[in-house]
Amino acid sequence: MKSNFAFLEKLNPEAYQCLYKAESQVRIDYNIGNNVRKALEAIIYELLRERKLSEKAEKAARSECRKWDLFDKINALQNAPFLTKMGWLKQGQKVSQRPFLPPLGKISYMKEDHTADKADGYTFLRLFGNQDSHIKNPADTDPKIQVLSDYPHAVRALKVIYKLLYQIYQGRVEGLSKEFHEEYMPIGSFHVDKAYVPNDQKWSGCKTEFLAHYDSDGNERNRSYAILRLYEKDTERREFLKHKIDAIHRIKDLTPYGIRGMSEIREICPMNNPSPFYIIAYIFPHEPVPLSDALLQSITMKNRLQICTQVCYCLKEMHDLNPPIYYRMLSYDSIYLCNYSQGEQKRWAPYLANFDFAKIIENDGVTVLPEANDSLTEIREQKRKKYIPPQTHRWETYTDREWRSVDVYSLGMLFADILSGKIQQDLGEDVFEKLEEDLSDEFLSFIEKMVSDRAEDRPDTEDVLSAVRKEDAAWN
């Protein structure tokens, strides 16, 4: 979805541009008042122009010594004597019988002095719009009048102006939604295709995840995709969020040219922005698809081995960095796949994303072990919980070697799910028995070592990569 206001692009280009800017920036910076005010001015001007009353109204206003600014327009166009003088109302006719401006009702809001108030929709929009506009009415600078500047009021302003536009254009625009959809507001240059609660919300703290796309230079041929993850800054797990951000910054520093199979990471809304949210984007060259039973069952064993090989390569490259990066919570939720084929035969390539629990071994002590331990208690679903190796002691005392083994254990579980074509509830003997039909005993024994309860028995990622490449080669 390009924008809630996309229908306005040709009907009122000036208002559309202002509202698109406001809508796409509101999660990043809620100071959108200037664009809301400009949009409202453009909408009222278009109403006057369509009804061939713009010159007549201004002339009538000037004769009454009005400035004919937004404040005057809203008051005058709701005033019966003025509308009668302009010829819009008949003598004695009430505004409610033929309103020039569609009614918006009363809007509740908080003022800058943190007291509650109500105003009609047009007054609310004007007061909100004055916050970072050039104020023409000195009375509107009074904090006892101004609307509180924050994200909820900014979204409320967008919803009110959408209600105005809906009343103007309903019946004229086919399929126009009555409701404003906050979840589908664009985020910066990204257009949201889907918004949902992520599976890992309870233990990662991610409030909302978005599948989105953006077109470089406005050209669909240069389209890229992204998974955007939104976190609330005002959270009890603020230290955890701070670690997440520090780790992401270090990952970007350590991988300036990227790693094949690791999605590019971009900060869309940093911590220092005037926003209640922290937003990061994982970028993909094609539309990302989550790892699922349906997808796995649609591909051959050869394809599954190729996916395992590429995931392992990415993890090994992360482990080989100086300092190394450990993923630490690898599971089927960590993997997205992109189709590189334009024909009927799909060619899937995996990408590693969602580095919420990434661990970087270095002297600066960037870690968040207590929060990570607490998060383990939030993982209730067995098919996800099985990815976590048995803990012989608290994570605070884990060594570099043990962190490597944590990722290898999770990778072994991931191999079993991918190769069996099903995200299993648990890794039982029946899974290995089924895989005996297609895979060598040597490779299956190797996977069993990867998921050993004893960390010291698990192989290194370099050995895992050699083993899976050997098995893959046997299928050629």
Q: 289-309: per-residue pLDDT in tens?
A: 999 999 999 999 999 999 999
Rg (CA), the chain: 29
Check residue 187 and give its pLDDT.
97
Mean pLDDT for 419-430 is: 84
120: which strand partners? Answer: 106
Mean pLDDT for 334-361 is: 87
- Say whether pLDDT at 135 is over 60: no
Q: 76-122: per-residue pLDDT in tens?
A: 899 999 999 888 999 989 998 899 999 999 999 999 888 999 999 99
User: What single string gives the DSSP state of each residue in 97-165?
Assistant: GS-SSPP--EEEEEBTTS-EEEEEHHHHHHHHHGGGS---SGGGG-TTTSBP-SHHHHHHHHHHHHHHH
Lowest mean pLDDT of 153-157, 231-235, 299-303, 400-404, name the range. 400-404
Please answer whether residues 83 and 95 qualify as being in contact, where contact means their C-beta atoms are separated by less than 8 angstroms: yes
- Say whether pLDDT at 46 is over 90: yes
Q: Match 């009430």 to its residue by tokens.
A: 94
Lowest mean pLDDT of 63-67, 197-201, 360-364, 429-433, name the range. 360-364
Element (H, E) at 474: helix 461-474
- Say whether pLDDT at 171 is over 70: yes
Lowest mean pLDDT of 49-53, 59-63, 312-316, 334-338, name the range. 59-63
In whole angstroms, give the CA distance from residue 235 to residue 206. Answer: 11
- Say whether pLDDT at 402 is over 90: no
Check residue 381 and give its pLDDT.
65
Check residue 132 and give its pLDDT.
66
- Say whether pLDDT at 29 is over 90: yes
Element (H, E) at 269: strand 264-269
In whole angstroms, give the CA distance from residue 416 to residue 217. Answer: 42
Q: 195-234: per-residue pLDDT in tens?
A: 999 988 887 889 999 999 998 877 778 899 999 999 998 8
Can you list the pairs that 197-203 forms with residues at least 24 positions away whose Cβ atoms lie under 8 Å? 198/229, 198/333, 199/333, 199/381, 199/384, 200/333, 200/354, 200/356, 200/384, 202/378, 202/379, 203/375, 203/376, 203/378, 203/379
Percent of the chain with pLDDT over 70: 89
Check residue 116 and give its pLDDT.
94
Q: Identify the band that residue 400 occupies on the pLDDT scale cut at 50, 70 and 90.
A: confident
Quote the mean pLDDT of the chain. 87
- Say whether pLDDT at 466 is over 90: yes
Q: 313-339: per-residue pLDDT in tens?
A: 999 999 999 889 999 889 999 999 999
Give the number of residues written for the chain.
Answer: 476
- Say whether pLDDT at 367 is over 50: no
Sorted by sequence, the CB contacts under 8 Å of residue 274 that are 6+ apart come out as 29, 30, 31
- Say whether pLDDT at 178 is over 70: yes
Nearest to 150 by CA among 277, 259, 45: 277
User: What single string gives the DSSP state of each residue in 315-364?
Assistant: HHHHHTSSS-EE--S-SGGGEEEEE--SSSS--EEEEE---TT-EE-STT
Q: 255-297: per-residue pLDDT in tens?
A: 888 899 999 999 999 888 889 999 999 999 999 999 999 999 9
